[in-house]
Amino acid sequence: MSNENIFREIDEELRSDRMRALWRRYAPFVIGGAIAIVALVAVNEGWAWYTKSQSSQSSQELYAALDAAERGDLSAAQAQLDQLAADGSGGYPALAEFRKAALLAEQDDVTGAIAAYDALANTQSNMRLRDLALLLAGNLLVDSGSLADVETRIGTLATDDSQLRRVARELLGLAQYKAGDFAAAQASFQAVLDDPLATASLRNRMAYYLAQMLSAGTASLPEPVEAAAADEPLAE
């Protein structure tokens, strides 16, 4: 192997390490956003199901399992969630399955967690819960899977008409960077930055990603409109 190839591989590895370090730094914010979505959906769906079916027993079982998980008693939480998934009423079994998948991820069984989220996505008739399962699976696959794996889950969530497009595009951009598709990663981050509904903290994170890419030489500044216009030939 020539010295040039060796230096190129070292440079690519350093760039990859920088972005991985950046992802580890900001992952809690992305994951926290996903958890907030889970909580919001759980509250909304749980309340709707409760008011329709008065399934108070299932509600109590769910919150008991969540409390056990918060205390670190994962075996008790798992047992309670299994029971709820099997015997719960209304939509509580689905919420139990979501928490079971999250518990697998917390115990470093990423493969099991992804399989659980995929199963949820394939069986859910509620589109919001289906999209949420796909998003959470994609989040785990940024680190553990390929770009194709991530695109399969969240590609349809990164469209302009998706309410989850901002989180989906951030995850997609990170997966694209990891795969070496820097132009696509830059476009994904820029799309979030340009989104009028993006929060200030999200915009700051996108700007940080793009600045990191510019510093590493994996992104380029957009060509100014004036310069592009000046380069166009005059019409005869």
CATH number, domain with residue 34 = 1.25.40
Whether 234 maps to a domain, the answer reads no
Whether 162 maps to a domain, the answer reads yes
Whether 120 maps to a domain, the answer reads yes
Whether 138 maps to a domain, the answer reads yes
- Position 2 pLDDT exceeds 50: no
Whether 235 maps to a domain, the answer reads no
- Position 122 pLDDT exceeds 60: yes
Mean pLDDT of 94-121: 89
What's the CA gap between 30 and 218, in Å, rounded? Answer: 23
Whether 51 maps to a domain, the answer reads yes
What's the CA gap between 18 and 12, in Å, rounded? Answer: 10
Per-chain mean pLDDT for the chain: 76
Give the ranges where the chain is alpha helix by DSSP (H).
3-53, 56-70, 74-87, 92-106, 110-123, 127-144, 147-154, 165-178, 182-193, 200-216, 225-231
Mean pLDDT of 24-52: 55
Domains: count for the chain: 1
Please report the sign of the dihedral spanned by the C-alpha atoms of residue 128, residue 130, residue 134, residue 140: positive
Q: What is the pLDDT of residue 82?
A: 81
The domain in which residue 163 lies consists of 3-222
Whether 106 maps to a domain, the answer reads yes
Question: Two tokens at 17?
Answer: 């390490």
- Position 95 pLDDT exceeds 90: no
Q: Global pTM?
A: 0.71
Where is average pLDDT lowest: 14-23, 99-108, 152-161, 190-199? 14-23
Counting residues of the chain whose pLDDT is more than 90, the rounded percentage is 32
Whether 182 maps to a domain, the answer reads yes
| Higher per-residue confidence, 14 vs 134 | 134
What's the CA gap between 12 and 10, in Å, rounded? Answer: 5
